[in-house]
Structure 1
Amino acid sequence: MAGEPWKTIQQRWRNHGLQMLGVALVATLIAAACEYADLLKPAERMAYDQALSAFAGDRGKSSHVVVVAIDQPTLDAISQDEGWRTNFGNWPYTRTLWARIAEELQAAGAKAVLFDAVMDERASDESADLGFAQVLRELHLPFYVGMVANGTAAPLLRADFQAPVPVAAPEAAPAAPAAPAAPAADAFPEEFEDGPATATPTLTPEALARALAFPAGRTDGQPLPPLQYESSDGMRPRYPVPPTPALVGAVDGFGLVDTEADPDGFMRRTHFAYTDGINTYVTLPVRLVADLLGAKEVTLSGRALHLGERSWRVDADGSAALDYGGMLHKRYPLVSLKYVLNDWILRKNGKAPELPADTFRGKVVVIGGTTPGINDIKATPFSSTEPGLVKQAAVVDTLLAGAFITRLPQGMDLGLTFLVALVSAVLLMTARWTPLEVGWPVALVGGLLVVAGLFLKTAHTHVLTAMPALAGIGASVAALAFNHLVANRETEFIRQAFTRFMEPKLVEQMIRSRQLPRLDGENKEITAFFSDIRGFSTFSEHFKEDPRQLVRILNTYLTTVSGALLREGGCLDKYIGDAVVCLFGAPMDQEDHAIRACRGALAAKAAVETLRVEFRQKGFPDVYTRIGVNSAVNFVGNFGSDQLFSYTAIGDGMNLAARLEGANKAYGSGIMIGPRTYELAKDHIEVRELDRVRVAGKTEAVTVYELLALKGRLDADLQHTVARYHEALALYRQARFADAVAVLEAEAARAPGDGPTGALLERCREYLETPPERFDGVVNLEK
């Protein structure tokens, strides 16, 4: 029986393999069409966010990037301190503050500073811009500032990176801007008093283009993404907004800080370089890291980003998803700006800073706002209210020591989608199990999210979820429809096929309860019924001159026997001439199949007895019937050829039932049942143990019984006969044949019509005359 499920699976694959492939292919094509028509993008973004936050959101603190936060405590501290407010004003603060922060970060050993803001408006006090620029020139701290692009900015000249930078120096270097008063009573050092204002240095268009642009390109012939925006008359170009002229030449570099948000407003991806059709520009993190790595240009080739000798895997379009590694406060050390400013004051007054000495040493410092009051709150997969600087920090950290998240190649996505669809179709069309049909789509989506999350965590690879999920669910729905179509066809087939062989109400009950037989076959325990008319050859010979009368009589007989069996829930297997074959326990499961078969056999015998009386009155031959009943595990299902097949059973149990029917002749019994039938029905029937027999081809002997009546319905005379028979049978098995003969002769005289008594008496007399050479009390039951 262990191999039957596998046989069923193989048969269903053979019968419906092409349909399974077709369902998977169609589901894949539909899902792919939806994916490439961007219909699945919202669902894919949601799935990506869930997988990323669930599996790749705890990478620990970065050891390469520190964030200096312009947070609410900083805003409060500056607004509440008169000295600080006088020197730095209200937000946005004067550039004097950033000069002091730059000085402190260099003193603390910072590797470079990324200022996540733009400085494209001149300060009301021009000396603040000039002083800030002068401090940056004098420091050895790389300092990078953001820039934006819009449709109202003027195009720049084409940058010539081979020519020297034509920038005129200022006429006189300004003194550093005034410093704020210390929080305590300490005064600022005198060297930070206000100095004289000077003119802004001359800035040529060539120098501006050279300062803002950066060499970038693709070696695979593909274009860089354009800087553009959508207007009422189509896509229009955007150009960089120039920074304050005083900072050009003082700041180490400028880079784009556009949000690069997806249509839903979430920041998930970044490009590394853009073009406005005139020059190429890189994002601010790329500009900073390019200098740290000594790269003179940014190169994209195929699925790789190159900066100097370093490379990173990116997507084919030159973009990549950001590996945030978690929320900002969990991923990066955060230092409030007010503590950096306070340390500068302490250091200038000859006191030790309060922040740990290694807070900034050897690290890139990202300066930006973290409070909603600065209006730089963006959405990421981890939070809808993250500070925008988290994007810059994530890109810098990845470029320094990490990997971007990239997509699987398109072919692999399609392959995975087809695989999911095929597994869904094969699984559901093979199993045809309702709980699986209900639970599989849920398990499928959950499993795909887990797979996507594991790929994100371990391989930094974005495996599409929405397209395979749609294909899998589509294939599941199609498989479900197919299953119901097959089930409906099988139901109709069963209704048409079995109504002729079973009570119609039982057929409908079987269909309603979904106890549909497996027409492709199964091993199950059933009880088989065989019956035959004694001397049918003589019976048919009587009607050789009138065959139609024979047919009418035979039909009457078969209808009588069949009706008795059907009323007990039997399934008529076949008619073989005058023989009737009936199954109990199949196709409909019946736990009491043995009991039903016994009741059916007794009912059939009683009905035939009534019919015999009618036939005698009409002068017809006798229709004495012998019956064999046996219970066993048999293989039941549709058997036959392409031209003709029927639902039946095969197996040793069926053979024994047929042998028992024939063995009635030797024992003079009417209904003989096998040992398993007796075991299953013994509490409901009255029997006589007839003998132990060995079937032809078998070595093991079995005990057979004569079925006499239902429990409690055996009359007293027959009970006496059965008791004497059992007494004689025990003597017979002890080879005490003379004693057995004495018992049997006495009972035969009392009940001369009892067939089994006469049969055993004859055998015992034979053994008295000719003792057997080897006696084991077992009779060989010939074919």
Structure 2
Amino acid sequence: MLGVALVATLVAWACEHGTPFLKQVEPVAYDRALSTYLGERKESSRVVVVAIDQLTLDGISENEQLRINFGNWPYTRTLWARIAQELKAAGAKAVLFDAVMDERASDESADLGFAQVLRETDLPFYVGMVTSGTATPLPRADFQAPVPVALPDTASPTPEDTFAEDAAEEFKDGPATATPTLTRAALARALAFPVSRTDGKALPALEYVSSQGTPQPRHPVPPTHALVGAVNGFGLVDTEADEDGVMRRTRFAYTDGINTYVTLPVRLMADLLGAKEVTLSGGTLRLGERTWQVNPDDGSAALDYGGPLHKRYPMVSLIKVLNDWIHRSHGEAVKLPADTFRGKVVVIGGTTPGINDIKATPFSSTEPGVAKQAAVVDTLLSGEFITRAHWSVDLGITFLAALLSAVLLMTARWTPLEVVWPLGLVFGLHLVTGLALKTSHTHVLTAMPSLAGIGASVAALAFNHLTANRETEFIRQAFSRFMEPKLVAQMIRSRQLPRLDGENKEITAFFSDIRGFSTFSEHFKEDPRQLVRILNTYLTTVSGALLREGGCLDKYIGDAVVCLFGAPMDQEDHAIRACRGALAAKAAVEALRVDFRQKGFPDVYTRIGVNSAVNFVGNFGSDQLFSYTAIGDGMNLAARLEGANKAYGSVIMIGPRTYALAKEHIEVRELDRVRVAGKTEAVTVYELLALKGQLAPELQRTVAHYHEALALFRQARFADAAAVLEAEAARGLEDGPTGKLMERCREYLETPPENFDGVANLEK
């Protein structure tokens, strides 16, 4: 089983790292787990999405005045100035604009007017930037220098735009003058952001693969200069999609080999947290005093989207924000609730296919790209990213899945299980992945363990079918001599085949022995064949009683019989069966003793020890001879109990575990508390008297008096105990334990014991 599991694990590991199959399957499994277990999050209270939706496109294009002032998509910067004014008035905490402004407007005054509004409102506003393989590299940024501010040299009178809806409205644009220009060093300082990685690993590179198949660097495309210094910061908004085109993760920071750049949400959060630098150390991302767990290898992390965009975040159409600005400008009441934006981060982005910003996420193949920015911002504000489990965890789960499959199918060998297990395994691993995502935001692989488990299952089934007939015949031949044939057939039919290589299991062991067998055998030293016939008769009698109760004959040691209950066939009632077998053997031997006395044979008085415990059972022996047996402390105690009957005058002595398992079905007498040789802990031993309800009244009285005397004995009141036992003995009922305890009381009266604790030492 270990071999099958190990081979299946190695094959799955090789497929994970050497073939594209699992790399295609794993993302699908991850997406399913993510949507199932992390897809019902409540609506965020920290982030609001202002959607450039179809309602906005239609509303502006159908309104002549709006179309004149703002044009068609992409709208003039004047529109964003009005939106910034309204969001500031509505109490927004900061604005993340999921788009780029890297081209000058045809009317340069629009750029300058937008920049002027941002300075006047002092609203934290962050704009995206993209990278390109054709962009000119910027020089190394000097982070000691202040962020440059691009200001026009002169100003001109403010032009007025008119807007007719119910009344005219003035649009106050910025100064109509030439857009200022900045040096490339100034641009580098404005766009780059300090990032350090203290674990010695490199930051992800901004690069692309050329037509020749070689990696080439990409560099930022600078925004229009008028916005530098007016916008609070710029961040990367390049698509970070996996090989299948799905946006599942982000990497926070990149380098083009010259400068370091951060993604747009990180740039926004750096200011909100007062961080002057982004630090990646091992598996930790740090901004100011806040940290988040990330993947230690490349500093990436998967996104906890929490559900589709429209369910996860409050969605406000851009046209509604613009209309509120118009109402507020007229002195009219705004339509949106007062707390819509107050104290929240606003993410502006396109949500309609007309904007051409539709991407794939684990929740939808047509999700707006702004969903990623909103998810990152929301997690940075208050949440956890999803990180990959350590490779050792994945490998361990893979091996456990393979081992469980091999063990289960190679031991159970049940056809319905063989059919259902592969499906159950995949579902179980899906559940494990989902629970890991839900409880610890950790991504545990599903595909690799599934492949290993299914591979091990196939190997186990092949092994089962190749060896089933041979093993069944071996079991039949091996156990038919030691168990009832019908039990062997039942064991094979129910596929409860024993593990011949050994296993730990709780069983009940039976030991019996003839009192004074050496003296017994001396009577036949002139006729050994008669001894063999008598001994065979005795062993057959005892064995038959045990086999009828479902026992498995372990061995004969001269006149001693060793029998196991609960192995090789599982028996939940093994202790009860052993007790019934012991009483049946005692009754059969009593009848045999009567027959032997009539024939003039020696007595075969038999003592029995029964004990239940976890023992190691299986095939033991040498290459020349081996047999199915059990070893362990439980077997040793059963043998000791059989011999201890002599000291207590009892016939059947049982251990504490046997009593605990069978006490509802048997009548016993508590004999004593004993300490086994080599052990420090004392255990209570009992004499098995009868099955429940079958104890004779006279014997019940004797047992009651014995228990009374035993309690006095343990209190070292030996004279009182002896008096109780003598009164019972005077009744004339012969009882071995009563006589033995009375002898001990008299002995201790004559020679008081030292450090008496009421426990007898049970020597070998």
TM-score range, shorter chain: 0.5 to 0.7
Q: 1:218 aligns with which of 183, 197, 219?
A: 197
Distance 1:71 1:353 in 2: 20
In the alignment, is the contact (CA less than 8 A) between 1:167 and 1:204 conserved in 2? no
Distance 2:253 2:332 in 1: 44
**2:458 maps to which residue?**
477
- C-alpha displacement at 1:372, in angstroms? 1.1
**1:239 maps to which residue?**
219
Distance 1:299 1:108 in 2: 34
Distance 2:478 2:391 in 1: 51
Alignment of 1:707-746 (within 5 A): none
1:265 and 2:245 equivalent?
Answer: yes
Distance 1:296 1:158 in 2: 17
Alignment of 1:451-462 (within 5 A): 451-462=432-443
**1:23 maps to which residue?**
4
Q: 2:232 aligns with which of 246, 252, 255?
A: 252
Distance 2:62 2:358 in 1: 24
Distance 2:313 2:221 in 1: 30
Distance 1:314 1:62 in 2: 22
Q: 1:333 aligns with which of 304, 308, 314?
A: 314
- C-alpha displacement at 1:475, in angstroms? 2.6
Distance 1:392 1:448 in 2: 30
**2:275 maps to which residue?**
295
Q: Supply the AA of the counterpart residue of 2:132.
A: N
Q: 2:368 aligns with which of 383, 387, 393?
A: 387
Check 1:142–1:173 CA distance in 2 against 1; reply closer, same or farther (3 A cut).
farther
Q: 2:336 aligns with which of 333, 355, 367?
A: 355
- C-alpha displacement at 1:148, in angstroms? 0.8
Distance 1:177 1:438 in 2: 79
Alignment of 1:363-512 (within 5 A): 363-491=344-472, 493=474
- C-alpha displacement at 1:444, in angstroms? 1.8
Check 1:237–1:354 CA distance in 2 against 1; reply closer, same or farther (3 A cut).
same
In the alignment, is the contact (CA less than 8 A) between 1:70 and 1:370 conserved in 2? yes
Higher gyration radius (CA): 1
Alignment of 1:30-109 (within 5 A): 30-37=11-18, 39=20, 40-109=22-91
Distance 2:158 2:374 in 1: 30
- C-alpha displacement at 1:26, in angstroms? 2.6
- C-alpha displacement at 1:219, in angstroms? 0.7
Deviations along 1:563-608, one digit per CA (max 9) or x if unpaired, are xxxxxxxxxxxx99x99x99xxxxxxxxxxxxxxxxxxxxxxxxxx
Q: Alignment RMSD, CA only?
A: 4.3
1:632 and 2:548 equivalent?
Answer: yes
Deviations along 1:619-652, one digit per CA (max 9) or x if unpaired, are xxxxxxxxx99993333589899xxxxxx99978
Q: 2:120 aligns with which of 135, 138, 145?
A: 138
- C-alpha displacement at 1:513, in angstroms? 7.6
- C-alpha displacement at 1:362, in angstroms? 0.9
TM-score (norm 1): 0.63
- C-alpha displacement at 1:47, in angstroms? 1.4
**1:308 maps to which residue?**
288
Q: Supply the AA of the counterpart residue of 1:23.
A: V
In the alignment, is the contact (CA less than 8 A) between 1:145 and 1:253 conserved in 2? yes
Q: 1:162 aligns with which of 131, 134, 144?
A: 144
In the alignment, is the contact (CA less than 8 A) between 2:97 and 2:348 conserved in 1? yes
**3-state DSSP class of the match of 1:634?**
coil
Deviations along 1:48-97, one digit per CA (max 9) or x if unpaired, are 11111111112211111110000111111111111111111111111111
Distance 1:656 1:138 in 2: 107
In the alignment, is the contact (CA less than 8 A) between 2:491 and 2:497 conserved in 1? no
Q: Supply the AA of the counterpart residue of 1:124.
A: S
Distance 2:183 2:546 in 1: 108
**3-state DSSP class of the match of 1:355?**
coil
Distance 1:257 1:473 in 2: 41
Q: 1:279 aligns with which of 259, 264, 267?
A: 259
In the alignment, is the contact (CA less than 8 A) between 1:630 and 1:657 conserved in 2? no
**3-state DSSP class of the match of 2:548?**
strand
Check 1:632–1:208 CA distance in 2 against 1; reply closer, same or farther (3 A cut).
same
Check 1:141–1:213 CA distance in 2 against 1; reply closer, same or farther (3 A cut).
same
Check 1:476–1:639 CA distance in 2 against 1; reply closer, same or farther (3 A cut).
farther
Check 1:244–1:109 CA distance in 2 against 1; reply closer, same or farther (3 A cut).
same
Q: Supply the AA of the counterpart residue of 1:478.
A: A
1:199 and 2:178 equivalent?
Answer: yes
Q: Supply the AA of the counterpart residue of 1:295.
A: A
**3-state DSSP class of the match of 2:48?**
strand
Q: Supply the AA of the counterpart residue of 1:342.
A: N
In the alignment, is the contact (CA less than 8 A) between 1:260 and 1:270 conserved in 2? yes
Deviations along 1:139-191, one digit per CA (max 9) or x if unpaired, are 21011111111211111111111124555631224666755625x312113xx
Distance 2:307 2:28 in 1: 16
Q: Supply the AA of the counterpart residue of 1:441.
A: P
Q: Supply the AA of the counterpart residue of 2:208.
A: Y
Task: Calculate percent identity across the aligned residue pairs.
Answer: 69
Count of equivalent residues: 558
In the alignment, is the contact (CA less than 8 A) between 1:86 and 1:180 conserved in 2? no
Distance 2:305 2:479 in 1: 66
Check 1:410–1:174 CA distance in 2 against 1; reply closer, same or farther (3 A cut).
farther
